[in-house]
Amino acid sequence: MDLLSKDLTEEERIEKLTTWLVNMPSVNGTPNEAEIADKIAALIKQFPYFTHHPTQVWLHQIPNDPLNRKNVFALVRGPKQTKQTVIFHSHMDTVGVKDFGKLEEHAFDPAALLDYFKTYTGDDTIREQALSGDWMFGRGALDMKSGLAVHLSNLLYYSEHPDRLIGNILLMVNPIEETSHGGIIAATEELLRIKETLSLDYVAAINNDYTSAFYPGDPARYIYTGAVGKCLPSFYVYGRETHVGETLKGLDPTFVTSELNRQINNNMSLAENLEGEMILPPCTLLNREIKDHYNVQTPITSFIYFNYMIYERPPEDIMNQLKTIAYNVRDMTKKYYEAQYEAFLKRNGLPSRMLTWDLAVYTYEEFCEKLGGQGVNVKALAEKIHLEYQKEDIRTITYHIVDELRKHDQTMQPCIIIFFGPPYVPYTFIEGEKQILNIIHEEAERFGKETGETFSIKRFFPYLSDSSYLSLIDLKNSLEVLTKNFPEWDSLGQVPFDHLRKLDIPSINLGVYGMDAHKWTERVYKPYTFHKLPKLTRRLTSAFLKIEG
């Protein structure tokens, strides 16, 4: 299959590229995620332009990565020696395929899945879409190998039509997007390096991560001028253990985390309120007690963390919100235990007496200050635990750090410790760049009239994106609330704030379109993604490159 054949139409080429990419598994956290980078770079080197400019395609190693994963870069320079540069960026990794069940072996085979869904009786809409021929199925077809295919095709287009390129195009393909954004985080240093050494001016970046309908019958194609951020508020609870035969003399930490879960999980009253944007509530990602074997001792500690989408809310406000909830849970827990113990005494005809179920509430910063006052070297202890558990999941590492610090508290008081865990994803949006925003609105309106598409322009891409790491809405002092309440921020925080400030690249998401990302029914809509999107991308690219630096 010649992916670069001049006999192919643009739409045919993008479909073949997407199929080629989907056929190559690149599940996040597997060796295939490293292998696909080599194959993408090898394909780009076959472009006629790059056979004459081989040094303008290169692989950038992710530092200290055990899987040897790499970013892919390719630079097409326009015929005029200008600095103006637009970045095309996509990610190459996908989520896993266990959700495909009996079809797991076909998860990367769009043709086999299409045949299956043509006779699928579980959903009439999916079957009709398969029969229409307008949809491609497969893991990564929507999120986001079709997007990478569009960027590869446009890179080829500009390399073959230099007369239509008034600046430069830098393609960047990143791994590790689906978990910690490690690819783009490492790439920020490389972007700064080549900006300096090659004298580039990044006027804009175009991501094309997937977009989808917000409701049945939604006619819009969405363009985003920013991306939602997220943080991971975490609660460590230390209770008071006891024998199950004296359960009310203890303080069950799972009761506390269960109540935290009830008050926070999917609670829209905690969500931000921005008119015209898709706003999500916090949700639970993990909730567990920490016991490694069965016995009749009640749990000692429990641990819960939440996904918090961030739009404009600074870390300081989030922490204040969390503390208020923790205080409410503390008070409710005490009242509940007092009532249950009183009922226990009455039921069993025992004399009245009262125990205490007091819980202290600390932020991580406050707890560390408390330990420091007891002579504990918090920094050295945290570094020691980090090193000891370095091969574990980074969220688990933060738990172990807090757990070990708590063991050094001389008071041994039951408590709730609030902290932030990884990842922290900065929110971003284009601000003060009226020329870019005007271009987006004007070109979308013009292209919509020509094609019949309806475009809706939003500020926040709602699904998390690598675009968050190309600029920084600087929160100044509020960031200290984040970093001081984040165990081992310097090593686990991972966000290179200085790089983001220096890059300051306006980034948009002009995405592929489809349905059911991260589901076994994942599919991309070909007429828009393979035919219309590449043209709109070029229009915006040309307009961006005309912006004077």
The per-residue pLDDT for range 374-430, each reduced to its tens digit, is 999 999 999 999 999 998 999 999 999 999 999 999 999 999 999 999 999 999 999
Same domain, 194 and 291: no
Q: What is the mean pLDDT of residues 192-198?
A: 97
Amino acid letter, 499: H
Judge whether residue 1 has pLDDT over 60. no
> In whole numbers, what is the pLDDT of the chain averaged over residues?
95
Same domain, 292 and 214: no
**pLDDT value of position 479:** 87
Q: Where are the alpha helices (DSSP H) in 136-181?
A: 146-160
Of all residues in the chain, the percent with pLDDT exceeding 70 is 99
Same domain, 397 and 535: no
pLDDT, tens digit, 9 for 90 and up, residues 57-70: 999 999 999 999 99
Question: Tell me, what CATH number does 239's domain have?
Answer: 3.30.70.360
Judge whether residue 2 has pLDDT over 90. no
Same domain, 236 and 376: yes
Of all residues in the chain, the percent with pLDDT exceeding 90 is 92
Q: What is the mean pLDDT of residues 192-208?
A: 97
Domain end: 404, 425, 446, which one?
A: 425
Same domain, 234 and 189: no
DSSP 8-state secondary structure symbol assigned to residue 106: G
pLDDT, tens digit, 9 for 90 and up, residues 456-503: 999 999 999 999 999 998 676 678 999 999 999 999 988 999 999 999
Helix (H) or strand (E) holding 3: none
Same domain, 142 and 289: no
Same domain, 160 and 237: no
Going through 56-143 in order, the beta strands assigned E by DSSP cover 57-61, 70-77, 84-91, 135-137
Q: What is the mean pLDDT of residues 22-37?
A: 97
Domain end: 399, 425, 451, which one?
A: 425
**pLDDT value of position 549:** 58
CB < 8 Å & 24+ apart, contacts of 193-200: 194/73, 194/75, 194/170, 195/503, 198/75, 199/83, 200/83, 200/85, 200/168, 200/170
SS3 162: helix
Question: Domain limits at 389?
Answer: 229-425
The residue whose two tokens read 């930490």 is 253
SS3 198: coil
Judge whether residue 354 has pLDDT over 90. no
Q: What is the mean pLDDT of residues 195-199?
A: 97
Q: How many domains does the chain have?
A: 2
Same domain, 203 and 280: no
Same domain, 45 and 189: yes
Amino acid letter, 393: D
Residues with Cβ within 8 Å of residue 87, at least 6 apart in sequence = 170, 171, 172, 191, 202, 204, 205, 206, 470, 505
Beta strands 523-525; 135-137: pairing state:
antiparallel
pLDDT, tens digit, 9 for 90 and up, residues 126-173: 999 999 999 999 999 999 999 999 999 999 999 999 999 999 999 999
R_g over Cα of the chain: 26
**pLDDT value of position 414:** 97
Same domain, 440 and 303: no
Cis, peptide link before residue 423, omega less than 30° from 0: yes
- Closest C-alpha to 79, from 194, 195, 169, 198: 169
Same domain, 389 and 405: yes
Q: What does the alpha-carbon distance between residue 472 and residue 495 come to, in Å, rounded to a whole number?
A: 10
CA distances from 373 to 275, 295, 301, 503 (A): 46, 36, 24, 41
**pLDDT value of position 296:** 86
494: in domain = no
- Closest C-alpha to 521, from 99, 19, 20: 99
Same domain, 234 and 301: yes
Here the tokens at position 542 are 């040309």
**pLDDT value of position 431:** 82
Here the tokens at position 182 are 């490690």
CA 231-514-29 angle, 5° bins: 50
317: in domain = yes
497: in domain = no
Could you write out the DSSP letters of every residue in 423-480? Answer: EEE--EE--S-HHHHHHHHHHHHHHHHHH--EEEEES-BTT--GGGGS-----TTHHH
pLDDT, tens digit, 9 for 90 and up, residues 240-278: 998 999 999 999 999 999 999 999 999 999 999 999 999
- Closest C-alpha to 148, from 39, 235, 256, 236: 39
Q: What does the alpha-carbon distance between residue 434 and residue 451 come to, in Å, rounded to a whole number?
A: 26
